[in-house]
Amino acid sequence: MTIAPRSGYTLPVFACAASIAALRWLHRTEPTTALTSVPVDMLHPAETVEIPIEQVSGLKPGSALAITRSDPGDNLDLTRHTPIWALVEILPDSAPNAPKIHIKGGEGLGRQGEGTGEAAIYGYAQNLLLTNLERWLEAGEVIEVTIILPEGRSLAERTSNAAFGVVDGLSLLGTSGIAHPLSAPGQLELFRAELQQKAQQLMTQGSDPTLVFCIGENGLDLVAQLGIAPDRTLKTANWLGSLLVEAGMQHVESVLLFGYHGKLIKLAGGIFHTHHHVADGRQEILAAHCANLGLPLPDLQAIFASPTAEAALQHLRAVDDRTHSTWVNQVYSALAHTIDRRCQGYIYTHSEQRVTVGCILFDRNRKIVVKSTTGETLLSQVC
């Protein structure tokens, strides 16, 4: 019997809990009453949970700070136990129709657009904070909430945030309050069960039996925008190889891989578990395809020395702009073809089933870089 790994909560939930605690401290009537936890309505799922509060205190009249600590469950999550602070300040009355809650990003909360844009507090986190805090506001009250992640700047250096244009800290990203333990071994069995269920459902309905694999939230968000139904999509995390084989075992006819190019590039090199703790080689794989197509040596060396796959892509784009060439299209088309071919071969080797695989790769701005020929065909079928 497989024991499901313990789920935890996402960073937005803890940021919200700290904000609620600080606001409630400002409203307290009994100064000696300890506030050890607060309820948070997670919205997605529709469930209220109690989140522990580590510390809460006033700083000056009309201002309070509360601290929680992240608990992502049974997952290899670098934010485990990291402190999340929320500073809540009561502001002077504003115009009648002005917002009553102002949310800001403080130290350790990343910024979008190379650090010049807005705080990286995305839709779910914004909605979570506004919905929960509004319930605790007193009549006519206006507050400013500043979310602070003291360890966020250093932790962000160990994430792929910069690849998606978020710098100087972590982001409050996600579409749910639940932090699923995607890297825990038991999670693979849950993914397999979900794949089996969706494959069987599609076949029973007589629908086109194509599944869409997304490594993470960015891919899921993009496929939803494209109009792909949730009953076709499967979040795989880094277990791509195992789930591709499972698709073969379930007689799925075709799989569309939809993901960030810095992850899916690994498949072109035969790396089918994409977590960086297992294997890397992105620049090497990219450089090999560039060399095979005849990219000039100085640019080839620059690709090989690039700190990230995103930086390598930007270098190719710069070469195209400078020389009016088409290296991005040539190189990424070759990569996409290799990904399709190696995935189909991997499935057949381990399941003796033939499954059509296509891929679509997007960049850090969530713009599509390339669709393989098969990927474009499959996309037209599932949209």
Residue 340 belongs to domain spanning: 185-382
Instruction: List for the chain the helix, strand, coil content (%; round to 5).
Output: 40, 20, 35
Q: Is residue 1 one of the residues assigned to a domain?
A: no
What's 164's domain CATH number? 3.30.2110.10
Q: Is residue 141 one of the residues assigned to a domain?
A: yes
pLDDT of res. 156: 85
Q: Is residue 3 one of the residues assigned to a domain?
A: no
Q: Is residue 122 one of the residues assigned to a domain?
A: yes
Closest CA to 233 of 172, 300, 175, 301: 175
- 368-371: strand order across its sheet: 233-235, 210-214, 254-260, 356-362, 368-371
Give CA angle at 317 (311, 323), nearest 5°.
135
Domain co-membership, 32 together with 169: yes
How large is the average pLDDT for residues 37-59?
Answer: 95
Q: Is residue 2 one of the residues assigned to a domain?
A: no
Q: Pull the structure tokens for residue 232.
A: 């076709």
CA distance 286 to 283: 5
Cβ atoms within 10 Å, residue 17: 26
Q: Look at the chain and report how many structural domains it folds into.
A: 2
CA distance 160 to 238: 14
Domain co-membership, 46 together with 168: yes
Q: Is residue 146 one of the residues assigned to a domain?
A: yes
- pTM for the model: 0.64
CA distance 15 to 88: 12
Residue pLDDT, tens place only, 185-240? 567 777 888 899 999 988 888 777 899 999 887 788 889 889 998 999 999 988 89
Q: Give the mean pLDDT of the chain.
A: 89
CA distance 314 to 157: 20
Whether residue 286 contacts residue 292, with contact meaning beta carbons closer than 8 Å, is answered with: no
Q: Is residue 108 one of the residues assigned to a domain?
A: yes
Domain co-membership, 55 together with 146: yes
Domain co-membership, 75 together with 153: yes
